Structures are given as C-alpha cells and as structure tokens.
Structure 1
Amino acid sequence: MTTSEQSLEREDAVTHSPTIENVVASTGVGQELDLDAVAEDLDGTEYDREKFPGAIYRTQDPKSAALIFRSGKIVCTGAKSIDDAHESLNIVFDNLRGLGIDVLPHPEIIIQNIVSSGDLGYPLNLNAIAIGFGLENIEYEPEQFPGLVYRLDDPDVVTLLFGSGKVVITGGKNPTDAERALDVIASRLDELGLSE
C-alpha cells in the first residue's frame, strides 16, 4: 500500500461520523412535586428514597430514563439523539399533566452532555501520545485505567483514547463537537507522526 493510499484510508476512518451513545438533558416543571404520589400514579415509575433521591420514569419509544426530583427538576438520560431527549421529556410532561400537575406548555430543555464514540481506524501508542500532546491536558495512568484522558479547549470536551484507536467523547453540547474533536485529535496525531 502506498503512502497516499494509507493517508486516504486514515482519512476515511476518521471522517465517518461518531455515534451518539447518550444524551443528557435537563428541564423543570417550576414547582415542587410529591414523588410518592407521582410514583404511585405514574405507571412504571421507580422510587425508593433510601437508594436515590429521585423517581425514575422510563420511556420505551424513544428509550430513555427521566430522573424526576422533588424540586421539580427533571434529568433525561439514555437518549440516543437530541430529538429523542426532547421527545422523551415531552412524554414525561404529558404524563405529569395527566396527573393534574401544572406543567408549562414548553418548558426549557437544556442539553447538558452528549457522549459519543468514534474510531480513528488505527492503533494508538498511548505512551507516545501522552508525551507528544503535552502533560498539561493529559491524564494517563495505565495502571489505573487503560485509556488516556485528553481535555480539549475547542471544542470544550473530554476524550478518552484507547490503544485500539477507539475514542469516547464526553462533555459535548452539540453533536458536531464529537466530529470536531476527532478531527483535532487526528490532525495532532498526523503532526506528531503518530497516526500509523
């Protein structure tokens, strides 16, 4: 395989879109809730205040879990897209309205975190990367954890790099953050001659 073919193969591996694994979104209903009553009246809700301070309500389509707190705050986790997070929370809002709880027509939904996974398409020498990327943005303790933690400023995300070439991106607020992070990492690896 020629050098240009290897370079094209690497570009193809990096340019495929990362996969969203989890979207975490938060919202609120603007009032305190009686979680005992919510758990009793809302089918499929789990609530055990000894184990967790919120009630857990799971939606099936789209699949997610809404953590409902006494304060009226709600956190949606497990959604596979921003649209799914919004749809799941709208289901929760409708169900709470069905219980007679006064929920605003369009509560603000804030995306807190998007966790994505990607693959650079080639194995990584994590020791060389730790040295090459500079220790100020890196955490790498292979005895503690098999991945290298790399914090980026732009986009503002935390990435976990693994020797297999797999990458987990967390802290994103927008789906494009993961793509940009993979591009930044691939460029830095190329600059340092570590992309083979």
Structure 2
Amino acid sequence: MDADSDVALDILITNVVCVFRTRCHLNLRKIALEGANVIYKRDVGKVLMKLRKPRITATIWSSGKIICTGATSEEEAKFGARRLARSLQKLGFQVIFTDFKVVNVLAVCNMPFEIRLPEFTKNNRPHASYEPELHPAVCYRIKSLRATLQIFSTGSITVTGPNVKAVATAVEQIYPFVFESRKEIL
C-alpha cells in the first residue's frame, strides 16, 4: 500500500452554510406571528425559521439578510433558500432572491488507517498545530484553499472550507501527508 495508489475516500458533507438577501425590509414580528416553524428572538433581533424538506434552519434579520444552515449539498442549500424566500413572499413581503452565496462547507472523511499525530505535526510544522492538552486533534490549515482540517488519531478528518470543491481538494492534498504518519498495523 502506497500513497499514490487510488484509494476511494468517502467525503460526507454534514453542513452547508449559505447566505442570501431579499432586497426588502422584513417585519420580524409579522413573520413570527404568521409564519410556520419560527422562533422569534426579539432580544437579538432575529427570527429562526426551520424547513423540514430540505432540513435547514434559517436565521432571518430585519435588513433582509438570511443565513441558512443544515443543508447537505450546495444544491440543497440553494433549493432550501429559494423555498424560504417563497414562504416569505407568501407572508406578503416583496422578496427578490439575490446575492446567494455558499459561505462554508463542513465535511467528514475517514482514513482507512490511524494516524500518529505527534509525528504528523513534526513533519508539517508550519501548517499543523497540535496541542493535546487543549484539543485531541491536529489543526492543519491550507491557506490557498481557505480550508481547515481537524485530523484525529483515529483517522477521522473534519474539513471546513468555502465550498465543496475546496473541501475535496483539501482531502486530496492532505492524504499523502497523513499516509506518511499512519500507524503500522501489526
């Protein structure tokens, strides 16, 4: 088994965060009273609205900015955001769906081996930081992709990046480095 051999790694996307604007002022009190599945947080000045299909949670501000979390793909995030905009239109707001952008993707990937974290950190010092007394994982940052990887000794890697492509590229880039520091099976 070598680092160059084709190993199929399953990257499971667990959360996609997106943001969009409605280009109109939103009356949060009206949304809270007339909308379905809403939580009005008056002290913070926002409304949380949940959709069941796709399963997303939206944070709505009166300025018209909306952040959606919980989707498992970029397409699902856009579909959920559009459904949310449509439900606001049905409440009587002049919503125009604009400035949609995926801002964050969280994914998990499991390596087929365990990793020796101190050795990995020593070999990748400028990019990797490991404080076992504070956190059980190595934090590895790839600045060019704007991705952060949390690498655990079990071989589990949590990747945070700006989009799905960056997350997949980050896993491809990190694989040879973690392969060097894998634990040998006796």
Name stretches of at least 5 consecutive residues in structure 1 with no aligned partner.
1-5
Deviation at 1:139?
A: 2.4
| Structure whose residues are more often helix by fraction | 1
Contact 2:116–2:182 (Cα < 8 Å) also in 1: no
Deviation at 1:32?
A: 2.2
Number of equivalenced pairs: 183
TM-score by length of 2: 0.91
Deviation string 1:64-101 (CA, Å, 9 cap, x unpaired) is 10110111100000001111111111111111111110
Deviation at 1:10?
A: 7.2
Mapping 1:1-196, distance limit 5 Å: 6-7=1-2, 11-12=6-7, 15-50=8-43, 52-104=44-96, 106-134=97-125, 136-173=126-163, 175-190=164-179, 193-196=180-183
Q: Distance in 2 between matches of 1:160 and 1:110?
A: 24
SS in structure 2 of the partner of residue 109 of structure 1: strand
TM-score by length of 1: 0.86
| Structure whose residues are more often strand by fraction | 2
SS in structure 2 of the partner of residue 47 of structure 1: strand
Contact 1:58–1:64 (Cα < 8 Å) also in 2: yes
Compute the RMSD of aligned alpha carbons. Answer: 1.8
Deviation string 1:111-134 (CA, Å, 9 cap, x unpaired) is 000111101211011111111101
Name stretches of at least 5 consecutive residues in structure 2 with no aligned partner.
none
